[in-house]
Structure formats: C-alpha cells, structure tokens
Amino acid sequence: MTLNKFMHPRNRYKNCKPSFLELALKYPEFRAHTTQDDSGKVFLDFKNAEALKALTTCLLKEDFNLSVDLPENRLVPTLPLRLNYIHWLEDILGTDAGKWGIDIGTGASCIYPLLAATMNKWKFLATEADPENVFYATNNVKNNGLQDEIHVHQVSRDDVLIVPTNAFNQTTKFDFCMCNPPFFADHMEAQAMTKTRSVDRPEAGSVSTASPQECIAQGGEVGFIRQMIEESTVLREKIRLYTSMVGKKSSLTQLKEELRQQKIVNFTSTEFCQGKTMRWGIAWTYDQTIIFPRSMFESRKEKPPLQFVVPRGAGGVEYQVHEIAAHIRGLLESIKVHCYQGKKAKSYSSLTLTAVENTWCHQRRLRRQQRNIEEPVIYPSQDTGHSSAHVLDPSDTGHSININGKQTVGLKESVKYQDIKLNGKRTLNEPDRIPPNSKKIKVKSTGSDKIEQEEKPGIEQINEEKPPILQAELQPQPTQKNTTVEAGEILSDTSPKDYILKCVLRLKRSEEQVLLELEWLDGSSRELMHQVMTFLKNKLVQR
C-alpha cells in the first residue's frame, strides 16, 4: 500500500512524482541505471545502491539546484522523507529566515542543512563524528556556496554529549535540533536476525546503503534519543525545540515514557509517510508557547460524526433548522455547556460546544430528586382534623417559618433552606448555609402565623410591605450580549480554554428531515461526546 496520500501537503513529490524519462534524457549518469520497456516506460532498480545515488543527486540538481557528491558505502538520503521532516519543523516553528538549527549526525550528504538553507535561509551547526563524512559534508557545503549558513563541526566518537558543549556560550541559543539517529543496537539487529520479518510481509523495496557507523549505536535509536533527552534537561531553553526521527514505532512508547520520567510534559510525535515506507518523528520542548500540530496521518482514523434525525415536534418548536438550533442551544446552556455560534445559512447552523465539566450525566436521578423535593408535605389541620397543605409563594423563598399549628411546607429544590420552626422547635435547617452571625428580623404576618427571616450579612433592611428577596438577587447581573448571528457573520470565539470536551454540533436539512451531527474536536474522551448525544436524544424525543 502506498503512503503517498499521507505525505506532507507541501512536499513537492506528493502530487508531482519525478519523471524518470525526463531525468534519463537530461542526465546520462542517471540514464545508465535505467531500463525501458516496449511502451517507453523507464524503470529504476531501487535495490542497486548506485542507482539510488544517481537518483538522489539528479533530483537535488534538478529541483533544488544543489550539487552533492556522495561517497560509496555511505547513506544515500531519500528526498521525500527528508522534506517531510523539514516541513514538520516548519509547521511547528514557521518558515521565517534566519533560524538556527543543529543537525546531529549530518552525514556525508549534509542533506538537511543543504535543503533547509536553500528553501528557508536557515542556518545550521552540522555535527558529525565520521571523518569521511565530515570531509564530504564540508565539500558539499562549499561547492554550493553555503559556508555562511552551514558550519560543519567534527565531534569525537567518545564524546559523552551528543550536542557539543563548545558550540554554546552564555548567549548562544538555537531554535531547534534535528537528528536521524542510528536505528540498530548491533549487527544482528541491523541484519534483521533478532527482529525477524513475518512471512507475509514483503521484502524492502530498496537497499540500505548506510555504513555500520551510520546505522549502529549502543542502545540503538532508543538509547541514542534517550541520551538526547537527558542532555536536554541540562541545556533546556538553550535549544527551543528538540526533535529526532524514529525508525521503529515500538521505540515511541519507550521514548515517551522517558520524557514523562524526566517530567517533560510538552512533547508530541508524528508520522513521515512516503512510498511504502513510514518513519516517525518525536519532539519535545521546555517552551510552553510552542503548540504542536496535529498528525495528518492520525486524522485518517477519525470516526464519522455521530448523527441523529431530529423528530418532528421536538421541543414544541417549528420543524426548521434555526428554531431547533435555538431550542438545542437552550438545552445545552441550561447544563452549562458553552455554545459558540459558527456558520449559519438558510438551512444550516453550527455550534461549537465546549464543556469544562460533565453536567449531562445522571439527569434522570436529578429529575427524580427534584420531583421528590417539590412535592408538598401534607399535615393534618389542627382545627378541622382534615389534611391540608400549605405551599409557599415563590416570594417566600428562604424563609424561616414558625406556625402555631402543625402545618409545615414543601420547598423547591432551588430553595436554600434556612429554618422552619414548629412550636418553637427547629425542624428543618441547613446549618452550613446559615451564617453564624445572622440576625433575625421580624416581618409582619397575618393571622396567627409568625414569620421570622434569617438576615444574611451584607443585605440591607428589607421593606416590610414587600416579600423578602435572596441575597443572590441583589448581585448585579451581567449584561446579556446580543448573540444573534446573521447569515455569514462569525462572532469572536469566547469558548473556555480549559475543557474536557470540545465538539461541533451541526443542524442541516436533508430532504424533509432535520439532521443533527456531532463531530469530535478535542477533549479527554470521545465517550463524553456520545453522552452528550444521548442527553440530546432524550430531550428531543420528549413530547
């Protein structure tokens, strides 16, 4: 299966594959390694190291005007993979000229610095331990006139630090470092003797041209990158962004665990897709302003939006998109889900839903509790012996009541209970809600009923002729903004920044029906979005 459709969208080879025929006609050194069938189609043997070398050098000349000389028995870089890595760095840091980077183990080609300096005018410190690679890398930089942008620095194989300390002074800072580390821990692993391929898995499509010193290191790629992570805890902000390529997906789990153990919380991984080959990238930073882009390859796994056909009569509103949208918005805002009006058209409306807490679960239990509290308590009347009920007026909310008989009252769930006194005895209270320094103010009453109200601190004297009011009613209410959105108008998004769920709700007409969709954006769990859909279904099917 080809992975080209997941190649970075800015990669020039994603939608424009190299023409072997044109390259063969233009470059004799490439033509020498090609064959042609009866239809005129040109083929290249990717298992031939010299053919790979010719392809890479010709593409660098043709597409980037770079002249590169590669020695035998050294790694020949594949351009689509290298471009994917550079474009990923661009997505994180931007493409501004003048950025300083470190290429750890630049190789004989010095490919990353040459490409990035040519494309973005970035500057590099290119480190290398192999003397032959240093020789070729230095000449490749010089032959392309990039000595001012790229500095090749030889390091010792015995150096403890991968990033040379003499490259830093008190003011030196780099924007990023990048690395294509040795993948294997020993020769047996490199020869796939300890990591056998399954019988069904096809053989690699191209030959490996890397030398032992380029593909083998103690501990393999995990040990190499782990050392980078340890060094980063010392260097910290001296390098704004730490990155490396990873050759095996199984290595990512170990490396992420190492980052967590080092208490590095801002890290990410991505995929580099090209041809039939996949590699991975890992990045971490101590700069909290860096926001990592979402993996384009992982987005392919996105499940389709949740869908539900809104029944007619839902909410008692007209069966039109915008009337239903207003009703749904009211339902969601009643459970403290932030709703941001997005695109709005004649038969379409979208809302971005942001929830900072789970307020939609256990709705049935809450309704049952509310019903139990709202039911009035019936006590026999002292005068007649018959049962009767005394129900408070809404203005009586929060009273302390002293009744000369045995009548008492039922209070709604929203009431903040204070005191109900029967024959001078307190029978219903919530001590934790009554301020210890509260006073009692006598309020006139009719008949033999005497009413005492708990006065809360900060409330001014209450007019005896008017019903008492709660303290909450005295607080200034925020001015409600007009959230009406005309067609095509987009308001500034004021959604909470910290949330457990963020998704998009869409309502659109489909033939004679109104279709509701929920699409996941972000959050702690997709299950939360399913719960919100269940909540909406339960509300919309009620008549």
Residue 452 near residue 442, CB atoms below 8 Å: yes
d(CA 65, CA 499): 49
d(CA 287, CA 273): 27
Q: Is 82 annotated as a binding residue?
A: yes
Q: Give SS3 for 507.
A: strand
Block residue for tokens 């990033």? 163
Q: Is 279 annotated as a binding residue?
A: no
State how far the alpha carbon of 161 is from the alpha carbons of 106, 157, 191, 424, 519, in Å: 16, 10, 28, 82, 47
Nearest to 500 by CA among 350, 331, 365, 338: 338
Burial per residue of 355-391, b for 16 or more beta-carbon CB atoms within 10 angstroms, e otherwise? beeebbeeeeeeeeeeeeeeeeeebeeeeeeeeeebe
Residue 221 makes CB contacts below 8 A (sequence gap 6+) with: 181, 182, 183, 184, 246, 247, 248, 251
Q: Please state the three-class secondary structure of 453-506 as a single string.
A: EEECCCCCCCCCCCCCCCHHHHCCCCCCCCCCCCCCCCCCCCCCCCCCEEEEEE
State how far the alpha carbon of 295 is from the alpha carbons of 5, 6, 213, in Å: 13, 10, 31
Neighbour-count burial of 244, counting CB atoms closer than 10 A to its CB (0-12 exposed, 13-18 middle, 19+ buried): buried
Residue 276 near residue 205, CB atoms below 8 Å: yes
Any bridge partners for residue 241, and if so which? 176
d(CA 53, CA 31): 12
Nearest to 523 by CA among 500, 504, 493, 492: 500
Q: Is 73 annotated as a binding residue?
A: no
Q: Is 10 annotated as a binding residue?
A: no
Residue numbers in the known binding site for S-adenosyl-L-methionine are 82, 105, 128, 180
Residue numbers in the known binding site are 82, 105, 128, 180
